[in-house]
Structure 1
């Protein structure tokens, strides 16, 4: 019997590729790379990297909540972006979420994502302290 808790967002790639949005094992939570999808499956805010990053954090927050964690438990983020020159708008979205509990983070430029309108993809790791 496994002690893993899993969360799914309903993104079309989860079933096709065989992954979930988040996995929790004990106090540790890993949230997979998250792009800015609207609930209907469309790309959120095409062309707006800051709004896409903010949407990624909304999706990540929901995944964390579904396994008994929250954004304040995040200890590490990884932001993959298609244009590093837009770091300030993406960073501002990160800062709006984590200003009071900053995690370790990385931002790396990549050539592209699974869809051409995605500008950012974000991963998060969390640790849920006892008590």
Structure 2
């Protein structure tokens, strides 16, 4: 898979450290559409209640495990949609994103919503990956 970032100078660009405006995939064979991942462990337990850092990391770990099961890595993730209960946690999220995607950030949409499906959840992340 070849990933190319497209960011024309005619569109506002907040900088590659935050996101890629567009990620073009050449010769993709399989596209994965992941359901929203949260801070729920494999045995159905909540992790990091009240701790957004832990919840973000577990959501990404769940994404990694799913993509891995399909034969890929986090590098195959090209699009994220991130749902925050409190957007003041954005800095925590972007710091973790930089750790997990040190080269090319996925294209992203980040929104604040009034609540998630369960009151313990502070964040939910869905993803698209191309293998």
Which residue number corresponds to residue 38 of structure 2?
Answer: 35
TM-score (norm 2): 0.74
Hey, what's the Cα distance between the residues in 1 that align with 2:34 and 2:99?
19
TM-score (norm 1): 0.74
Give the count of matched residue pairs.
104
1:116 aligns with 2:96: no
Q: Alignment partner of 1:39: what SS?
A: coil
Which residue number corresponds to residue 108 of structure 2?
Answer: 105
Hey, what's the Cα distance between the residues in 2 that align with 1:29 and 1:114?
23
Of 49, 56, 61, which aligns to 1:58? Answer: 61
Higher helix share goes to which structure? 1
Pairwise CA distance, 1:42: 1.5
Q: Alignment partner of 2:67: what SS?
A: helix
Q: Alignment partner of 1:86: what SS?
A: helix
Hey, what's the Cα distance between the residues in 1 that align with 2:53 and 2:109?
16
Following TM superposition, the consecutive aligned residue runs of length 4 or more in structure 1 with deviations greater than 3 angstroms are: none
Pairwise CA distance, 1:79: 0.7
Q: Alignment partner of 2:66: what SS?
A: helix
Hey, what's the Cα distance between the residues in 1 that align with 2:41 and 2:65?
13
Q: Which ranges of structure 2 fall in alignment gaps of 5 or more residues?
A: 1-27
